Amino acid sequence: MSNKKLTNQYEETIRRLLKKGKLRGRIDAKCVECIYDPYQEGTWRLQVEKCTSPACPLFPVRPLTMKGKTAGKEKAPASDQTERGSS
Ligand code: SF4
């Protein structure tokens, strides 16, 4: 694939995600902008799933593949979960 075509693929992916929805689309687009490399193997979603920056505020909400979602391996930190104590 030519360099120009891959660059267009990268830009088109970001443009498409920005049209997808408000917050979800913007998070997805940010992760694509951050990590997606069309020269590397794997779809943009697979590359984002493999992100190794858990300190990033978007890490817990980054887009995952269906396999990654069902595996449930990326849960939000306990501090993010609301406690519902009995009163
Ligand atoms: S979660 Fe990972 S890919 Fe997404 S913005 Fe943060 S560092 Fe980048």
With bands split at pLDDT 50, 70 and 90, how would you rate the model's confidence at 6?
Answer: confident
Q: Determine the residue type at 73.
A: K
**Average model confidence (pLDDT) for the chain?**
83
Could you identify the atom of ligand 1 that is nearest to the CA of residue 35? Answer: 3
Q: How far is the CA of 58 from the centre of ligand 1 (A)?
A: 6
Tell me the per-residue pLDDT of 15-40, one tens digit each, with 9 for 90 and over: 999 998 789 999 999 999 999 999 99
Which residue bears the tokens 């995600």?
17
Contact of 6 with 41, CB cutoff 8 Å: no
Predicted pLDDT at 5: 79
Q: Is the pLDDT of residue 49 over 70?
A: yes
Q: Is the pLDDT of residue 14 over 60?
A: yes
